[in-house]
C-alpha cells in the first residue's frame, strides 16, 4: 500500500503539472484571435497520412502527405534524428482550404545531457536500500530540491497550503535482525504561520502552485523523454483556419535505392520476351497504405547539410576604447561547410504488395474475363468454357499472357530523368519490401555469340542482341534468361533507352571454337618530306590478327568478334568493314553454317616517321636513300653537294686543329727555353747557349705569327662553307614526295 500510494503521489505531482505547462506553450504558438472575434476551435496533434512516394535511383525519396484538418490545426510529423536535416531543407507546406500556415517548429537539437544540466534539480533511481525503506531517490528527493516552493498538500484527513521547508528523514529500528526503516516527512510553513509536518506515506498529492517550479518539472520530464528516444524528432506544423480543409506536406529524405530485375524468355529463334520487376524497400516507421508510387531513373544531385544544429558565430571581445582615435578593423567572414553521406538498407522478409498494382490489376483482369478468382467459378459460368487451355510450361505461360502478371507502370520523361509511374495504389508495410512488375513485352533480338580475346581466348560468350522496343527506359539490373523451359544463365544489363540495342551474354558458348594468330610487319616508306632542315621518311607499321572461328554444332551460329580499338591505329583498306564500332571495340559479324569454319583477318596500321637532320647527313644515309628510291636525281645531286660542302668544312676544321696543336707545342717549347735561360750563369759558354735559345725563340715567334694568319684564313673558309651549307639545306625546304 505504501508503494502504491507513492506511485499515485508521483503521478499527481508530474502529470497535472505537465498538462498545465504544455497547454500555454501550444496556445502561444497559435496566432491570437482578432479583436472582437471568438477564437476558433483548435485541433492539436493531428497527422497526415502518406499519399505519394517517389523513389530516386540516387538514394533519396520524395514523400507527400495529405489529409483533412479542422480549425486551428497542429500536425505532428515524426522523423528520425538523421532525417531532420533533409526535411528542413526540402519541406513544402500547403493549406488548400484558405487557411494560413503558421510556425513549423521542432524540439531542441541540444543533447539531452546539456538540457538536464540546465534544470535546477535532478531525479536519480532509488537504491535497493532506499527502496526498502522509503523513496530517497524519488518523491522525497524531488520535494527536497523544491525548497521554498508553494504547494498544496493533501492527505486523507486534511489539506494545507504553504511553502516547503525541508524533507526530514527518520530512522526506526523495528527489528534488530533487519536494517532500520527509513521514513520521510514533508515540513511546510503554512499560510497561517503554522509549521506542519506530513508523513509522505500518508500524502495523497502535492500540487505545485509556483509557475517556475511547474515549468522545471515539466522541462525535466521532456528532457528525460528525449533521453529515452534519442533518435526521435517531432516537427509540428501549425495552420490557422476555419472548418474542414485539406493540408499537404512534402519533403525528401534518404532512402534505399530502388532496384530492377528482369526475366527474358527466348523462343527457338532467339526472340526475347521481356519481363521487368522493380524492388522497393520501406524501412520507415510507417506503413505505405494505398500510396501513389513512382520510380525515377536518373541521378539528380543531393546532399546533406547539418542545419538543425544551432550555430553560433564567434564574436571577439573588444575592450572599451581609451581614446577616439582608433582605426577601423576589417575581419574575414567565417566559413562553414557541411557534408555527409546517407545510406540505407532494407533486409526484408516476404514481398508484399497489398491493394497495389499487382493484386488490383490481376483481380480486374480476372473480373473482366469472367474467369474464376481464388479457385472459385463466378456467376455459375462453365469452367471449361471460361478458361482457355493451360500452357504446357512456364515459358509458354509467361509469353502467352496467361501468367496472371500484368505490368503496373507507365513511363514518361521528366526532364533528363525517366519516371515509372505505378498506375494503381500500392501498400508496403514498414520494414518490408515489394516486387512490382513494371514491364512485360515482346522485344526485338537474336541469339548470338560474342567473342572477346581479353575475356576468354578460346570460346565466345553465348548471349543475345536485345533491342528495347518499349517506350520505357530500362534501368540497369540483373537479368535471368530462360531458354525454352530451362534456366540458361544470368547477366547484368546497363541502362537501356528506348530504341537502343545492347549485347547481353549469359553463358559460355561451348559449341564454338576461336583461335587468334597475330603477326607484325613494317611497310615501305610511302612519303618523304624535308621540314626545318630535317629529312622525314613516313612509313606504316602493320599488325595482322587472324581470327579462325569454327562452329562445332549442327546448328547455324551468329558470332560477333570484338577487336579492340587502339589509339593511333587504323583499320587497313583490305580489312572488311566492321558491322559496328563502339568506343572500345570493332565488331565483326560472322555467320556460320553447321560445322563451318571461317577466318576473319583484321589488319591495323599506324604511321611512323624516321627523322634525319640534314646538317648531320652522312654518305651512308645518302646511299640508303638512293637504294630505297626515297629521292630523285635532283634531290640526290643536292644531297651530294651537301656532302661535298660538309667534306670541305671538315677539312677546314681539321686544318684549324693542326694549327692549334702546332701553336700549343711552340708555346710549350718557349716555356722550356725560358726556364733554361734562368738556370744558366754568366760564363762564356752560358752566354753562347743563351744566344742560341734567343735565336730559336725568334724563329718560333715568326712561326706563331704565320700560324695565326693561317688559322684566321681557315676559320673564314669554314664560315663561308657553313653559310653555303645552310643555303643548300634551305633550297630543299618543304620538299614533299609521295613514293
Judged against a pLDDT cut of 50, whether residue 346 lies above it is answered with no
Where is pLDDT greater, at 249 or 122?
249
DSSP-derived letter for residue 388 is P
Q: Provide the b/e sequence for 218-256 (b: ≥16 CB within 10 Å).
A: bbbbbbeebeeeeeebebbbbbbbeeebebbbbbbbbbb
Q: Are 438 and 409 in contact (CB under 8 A)?
A: yes
Mean pLDDT, rounded, for 155-172 = 86
Q: What is the reported pLDDT for 391?
A: 54
Judged against a pLDDT cut of 90, whether residue 302 lies above it is answered with no
- What crossing angle do the helices spanning 211-228 and 2-29 adopt, rounded to 10°? 100
Q: Are 110 and 310 in contact (CB under 8 A)?
A: yes
DSSP-derived letter for residue 373 is B
Rounded alpha-carbon distances, angstroms, from residue 40 to 44, 94, 205, 243, 352: 13, 20, 35, 9, 44
Mean pLDDT, rounded, for 204-227 = 79
Greatest mean pLDDT among 22-36, 204-218, 371-385 lies in 204-218
Q: Are 184 and 2 in contact (CB under 8 A)?
A: no
Where is pLDDT greater, at 502 or 682?
502
Angstrom distance (rounded) from CA 148 to CA 130: 25
Where is pLDDT greater, at 79 or 175?
79
Q: Are 493 and 262 in contact (CB under 8 A)?
A: yes
Angstrom distance (rounded) from CA 576 to CA 589: 10
Q: Are 542 and 549 in contact (CB under 8 A)?
A: no
Dihedral sign for Cα 126, 127, 131, 133, please: negative
Judged against a pLDDT cut of 70, whether residue 629 lies above it is answered with yes
pLDDT in tens, 216-248: 788 777 766 665 555 567 888 888 888 889 999
Rounded alpha-carbon distances, angstroms, from residue 694 to 86, 468, 673, 697: 107, 109, 8, 5
Alpha helix (H) ranges present in 166-230? 211-228
Angstrom distance (rounded) from CA 225 to CA 243: 34
Mean pLDDT, rounded, for 94-118 = 72
Beta bridge partners of 295: 55, 420
Mean pLDDT, the chain, integer: 77
CB 59: neighbour CB atoms within 10 A?
A: 17
The 3-class secondary structure across 577-641, one letter per residue, is CCCEECCCEEEEEEEECCCCEEEEEEEEEEEEEEEEEHHHCCHHHHHHHHHCCCCCHHHHHHHHH
Confidence of residue 551 (pLDDT cuts 50, 70, 90): very high
Angstrom distance (rounded) from CA 407 to CA 562: 36
Helix (H/G/I), strand (E/B), else coil: 46 = strand
Judged against a pLDDT cut of 80, whether residue 265 lies above it is answered with yes
Dihedral angle computed from the Cα positions of residues 174, 176, 179 and 185, in that order, rounded to the nearest 10 degrees: 20
Lowest mean pLDDT among 76-80, 229-233, 483-487, 626-630: 229-233
Mean pLDDT, rounded, for 706-735 = 89
Judged against a pLDDT cut of 80, whether residue 522 lies above it is answered with yes
Distance of CA 221 to the CA centre of its chain: 42
Q: What is the reported pLDDT for 690?
A: 78
Q: Where are the beta strands (DSSP E) in 218-307?
A: 232-240, 244-254, 259-266, 272-282, 288-297
Confidence of residue 63 (pLDDT cuts 50, 70, 90): very high
Q: What is the reported pLDDT for 17?
A: 37
Where is pLDDT greater, at 404 or 637?
637
Mean pLDDT, rounded, for 521-548 = 91
Dihedral sign for Cα 251, 254, 256, 257, please: positive
> CA 531, 542, 592: angle at the middle one, nearest 5?
150
- State the chain's maximal CA–CA distance in angstroms: 162
How many percent of the chain have pLDDT more than 70?
Answer: 74
Mean pLDDT, rounded, for 417-445 = 88
Q: Are 278 and 258 in contact (CB under 8 A)?
A: yes
Judged against a pLDDT cut of 70, whether residue 89 lies above it is answered with yes
Judged against a pLDDT cut of 50, whether residue 370 lies above it is answered with no
Judged against a pLDDT cut of 90, whether residue 185 lies above it is answered with no
Judged against a pLDDT cut of 90, whether residue 99 lies above it is answered with no
Q: What is the reported pLDDT for 587?
A: 94
Those residues with Cβ within 8 angstroms of residue 326's Cβ, 6 or more apart along the chain or in another chain: none
Alpha helix (H) ranges present in 340-455? 357-368, 383-386, 394-400
Confidence of residue 199 (pLDDT cuts 50, 70, 90): confident
Judged against a pLDDT cut of 50, whether residue 316 lies above it is answered with yes
CB 370: neighbour CB atoms within 10 A?
A: 13
Q: What is the reported pLDDT for 622?
A: 86
CB 260: neighbour CB atoms within 10 A?
A: 22
Confidence of residue 424 (pLDDT cuts 50, 70, 90): confident
pLDDT in tens, 1-53: 343 333 333 333 333 333 333 333 333 333 333 333 444 444 556 789 999 99
Angstrom distance (rounded) from CA 716 to CA 613: 24
Distance of CA 578 to the CA centre of its chain: 36
Judged against a pLDDT cut of 70, whether residue 325 lies above it is answered with no
Q: What is the reported pLDDT for 602?
A: 96
Q: Are 455 and 472 in contact (CB under 8 A)?
A: no
Where is pLDDT greater, at 381 or 404?
404
DSSP-derived letter for residue 354 is B
Confidence of residue 136 (pLDDT cuts 50, 70, 90): very low
Angstrom distance (rounded) from CA 197 to CA 190: 10
Q: Hunting for cell 532496384 — which residue is that? A: 259
Confidence of residue 386 (pLDDT cuts 50, 70, 90): very low
Judged against a pLDDT cut of 50, whether residue 103 lies above it is answered with yes
Q: What is the reported pLDDT for 403?
A: 55
Length of the chain counted residue by residue: 739
Q: What is the reported pLDDT for 373?
A: 29
Residue 562 in grid coordinates: 570484338
Q: What is the reported pLDDT for 120?
A: 63
Q: What is the reported pLDDT for 383?
A: 32
Compute the radius of gyration of the chain from its Cα atoms: 50
CB 286: neighbour CB atoms within 10 A?
A: 14
Amino acid at each position: 500500500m505504501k508503494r502504491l500510494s507513492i506511485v499515485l503521489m508521483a503521478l499527481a505531482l508530474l502529470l497535472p503539472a505537465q498538462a498545465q505547462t504544455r497547454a500555454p506553450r501550444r496556445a502561444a504558438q497559435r496566432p491570437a484571435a482578432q479583436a472582437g472575434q471568438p477564437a476558433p476551435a483548435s485541433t492539436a496533434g493531428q497527422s497526415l497520412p502518406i499519399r505519394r512516394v517517389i523513389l530516386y535511383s540516387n538514394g533519396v525519396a520524395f514523400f507527400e502527405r495529405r489529409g483533412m484538418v479542422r480549425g486551428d490545426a497542429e500536425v505532428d510529423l515524426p522523423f528520425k534524428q538523421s532525417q531532420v536535416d533533409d526535411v528542413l531543407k526540402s519541406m513544402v507546406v500547403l493549406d488548400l482550404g484558405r487557411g494560413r500556415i503558421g510556425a513549423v517548429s521542432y524540439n531542441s537539437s541540444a543533447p539531452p545531457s546539456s538540457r538536464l544540466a540546465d534544470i535546477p534539480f535532478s531525479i536519480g533511481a532509488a537504491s535497493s536500500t532506499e527502496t526498502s525503506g522509503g523513496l530517497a531517490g524519488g518523491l522525497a528527493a524531488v520535494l527536497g530540491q523544491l525548497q521554498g516552493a508553494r504547494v498544496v498538500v493533501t492527505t486523507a484527513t486534511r489539506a494545507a497550503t504553504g511553502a516547503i521547508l525541508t524533507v526530514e528523514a527518520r530512522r526506526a529500528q523495528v527489528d534488530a535482525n533487519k536494517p532500520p526503516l527509513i521514513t520521510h516527512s514533508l515540513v511546510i510553513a503554512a499560510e497561517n504561520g503554522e509549521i506542519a509536518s506530513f508523513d509522505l506515506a500518508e500524502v495523497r498529492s502535492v500540487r505545485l502552485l509556483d509557475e517556475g517550479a511547474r515549468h522545471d518539472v515539466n522541462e525535466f520530464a521532456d528532457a528525460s523523454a528525449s533521453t529515452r528516444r534519442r533518435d526521435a524528432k517531432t516537427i509540428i506544423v501549425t495552420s490557422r483556419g476555419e472548418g474542414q480543409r485539406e493540408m499537404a506536406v512534402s519533403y525528401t529524405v534518404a532512402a534505399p535505392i530502388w532496384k530492377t530485375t528482369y526475366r527474358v524468355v527466348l523462343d527457338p529463334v532467339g526472340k526475347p520476351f521481356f519481363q521487368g520487376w522493380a524492388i522497393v524497400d520501406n524501412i520507415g516507421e510507417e506503413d505505405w497504405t494505398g500510396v501513389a508510387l513512382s520510380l525515377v531513373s536518373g541521378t539528380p544531385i543531393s546532399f546533406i547539410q547539418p542545419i538543425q544544429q544551432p550555430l553560433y558565430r564567434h564574436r571577439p571581445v573588444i575592450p572599451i576604447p581609451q581614446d577616439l582615435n582608433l582605426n577601423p578593423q576589417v575581419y574575414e567572414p567565417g566559413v562553414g561547410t557541411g557534408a555527409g553521406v546517407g545510406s540505407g538498407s532494407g533486409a526484408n522478409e516476404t514481398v508484399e504488395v497489398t491493394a497495389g498494382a499487382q493484386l488490383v490489376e490481376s483481380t480486374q483482369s480476372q473480373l473482366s474475363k469472367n474467369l474464376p478468382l481464388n479457385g472459385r467459378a463466378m456467376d455459375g459460368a462453365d469452367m471449361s468454357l471460361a478458361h482457355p487451355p493451360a500452357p504446357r510450361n512456364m515459358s509458354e505461360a509467361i509469353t502467352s499472357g496467361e501468367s496472371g502478371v500484368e505490368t503496373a507502370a507507365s513511363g514518361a520523361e521528366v526532364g533528363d530523368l525517366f519516371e515509372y509511374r505505378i498506375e494503381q495504389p500500392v501498400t508496403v508495410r514498414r520494414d518490408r519490401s515489394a516486387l512490382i512488375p513494371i514491364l512485360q513485352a515482346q522485344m526485338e533480338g537474336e541469339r548470338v555469340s560474342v567473342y572477346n580475346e581479353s575475356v576468354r581466348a578460346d570460346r565466345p560468350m553465348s548471349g543475345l542482341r536485345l533491342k528495347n522496343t518499349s517506350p520505357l527506359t530500362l534501368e540497369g539490373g540483373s537479368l535471368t534468361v530462360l531458354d525454352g523451359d530451362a534456366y540458361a544463365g544470368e547477366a547484368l544489363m546497363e541502362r537501356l533507352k528506348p530504341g537502343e540495342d545492347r549485347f547481353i551474354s549469359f553463358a559460355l558458348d561451348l559449341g564454338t571454337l576461336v583461335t587468334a594468330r597475330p603477326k607484325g610487319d613494317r611497310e615501305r616508306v610511302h612519303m618523304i618530306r624535308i621540314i626545318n632542315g630535317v629529312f622525314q621518311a613516313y612509313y606504316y607499321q602493320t599488325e595482322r590478327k587472324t581470327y579462325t572461328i569454327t562452329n562445332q554444332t549442327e546448328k547455324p551460329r551468329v558470332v560477333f568478334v570484338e577487336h579492340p580499338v587502339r589509339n593511333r591505329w587504323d583499320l587497313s583498306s583490305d580489312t572488311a568493314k566492321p558491322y559496328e564500332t563502339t568506343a572500345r571495340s570493332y565488331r565483326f559479324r560472322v555467320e556460320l553454317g553447321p560445322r563451318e569454319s571461317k577466318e576473319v583477318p583484321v589488319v591495323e596500321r599506324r604511321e611512323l616517321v624516321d627523322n634525319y637532320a640534314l646538317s648531320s647527313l652522312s654518305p651512308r644515309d645518302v646511299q640508303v636513300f638512293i637504294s630505297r628510291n626515297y629521292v630523285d636525281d635532283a634531290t640526290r645531286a643536292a644531297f651530294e653537294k651537301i656532302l661535298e660542302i660538309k667534306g670541305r668544312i671538315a677539312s677546314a676544321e681539321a686544318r684549324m686543329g693542326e694549327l692549334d696543336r702546332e701553336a700549343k707545342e711552340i708555346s710549350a717549347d718557349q716555356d722550356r727555353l725560358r726556364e733554361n735561360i734562368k738556370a744558366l750563369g754568366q760564363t762564356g759558354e752560358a752566354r753562347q747557349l743563351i744566344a742560341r735559345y734567343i735565336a730559336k725563340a725568334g724563329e718560333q715567334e715568326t712561326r706563331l705569327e704565320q700560324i695565326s694568319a693561317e688559322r684566321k684564313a681557315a676559320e673564314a673558309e669554314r664560315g663561308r662553307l657553313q653559310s653555303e651549307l645552310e643555303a643548300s639545306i634551305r633550297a630543299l625546304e618543304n620538299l614533299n614526295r609521295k613514293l
